[in-house]
Amino acid sequence: MSGVTLPASFYARPTLRVARSLLGKYLMRETAEGLLAGRIVEVEAYVGPEDRASHASRGRTQRTDVMFGPPGLAYVYMIYGMYHCLNVVTERIDYPAAVLIRAVEHEAGLADGPGRVCRLFEIDRRLNYHDLTSGKALWIEDRGVHVRRNQIGAFPRIGVAYAGPWAAKPWRFRVKPVRP
DNA sequence: AGATTGATCCAT
DNA sequence: TGGATCAATCTG
């Protein structure tokens, strides 16, 4: 099974559109044991400097610098001292925005939760600033199967209750389960 | 519900 | 420089 590595032009679009478009794409990771592939089924969008749920809402810091970088970079950070979270940087240089990869399906089952995704795919801070358009080490592929708009549910983002009105925005997107 | 764990950020 | 906080997860 093969696919096309998503190019920078894919990521250089409005973040909400990138987020929905990422559903059904394949997260690819080269490890010592071999190639891992997981179908992306849940994401969250973090959009611009005004989004109080976004790490970038407090400006450009050492941590958030990557979010201001070119579209197609990986933003990987450690949370709670134990887990890592993978984001893809979107839109244009100097506009801080990204999409968090929250869940992927893989042959061994479902990695449900951003920490579990990174644990399974062996993703840590060494991949911060990684170029996802390189097609090496870590990238995302299009295998030609489009997830239709009516197959996507939109929900509030997880763990951002501190963000006031921004917490209610339905910027978490998930592929609806297939009906039997 | 509570513990875990360390990077990050900002005010004391 | 200290301490509160955290885009999470696991075990009760």
CA distance A167 to A52: 8
Q: By the 8 A CB rule, do A73 and A81 touch?
A: no
> Which residue matches tokens 């970079």?
A73
Nearest nucleotide to A62 (CA to C1') is: B8
- Give the tens place of pLDDT for each residue, A11-55: 999 999 999 999 999 999 999 999 999 999 999 999 999 999 999
A74 touches strand C (CB under 7 A): no
Domain A4-175 has CATH 3.10.300.10: yes
CA distance A103 to A40: 6
- Give the tens place of pLDDT for each residue, A55-72: 999 999 999 999 999 999
**What is the sign of the dihedral through the CA atoms of A116, A118, A122 and A124?**
negative
pTM score: 0.97
A162 touches strand B (CB under 7 A): no
Of the pLDDT bands very low, low, confident and very high (cuts 50, 70, 90), residue A108 is confident
Residues contacting A31, CB < 8 A, separation 6+: A121, A122
- Give the tens place of pLDDT for each residue, A133-178: 999 999 999 999 999 999 999 999 999 999 999 999 999 999 998 8
User: Which chain A residues in 94-153 sit with Cβ < 7 A of strand C?
Assistant: 98, 100, 113-117
Q: What's the pLDDT at A177?
A: 86
Nearest nucleotide to A44 (CA to C1') is: C7
pLDDT at residue A129 is higher than 80 = yes
Of the pLDDT bands very low, low, confident and very high (cuts 50, 70, 90), residue A84 is very high
Q: What's the pLDDT at A65?
A: 98
Q: In A149-167, which positions are buried (b, 16+ CB within 10 angstroms) versus exposed (e)? A: eeebeeebbeebeebeebb
CA of A2 to C1' of B7 (A): 37
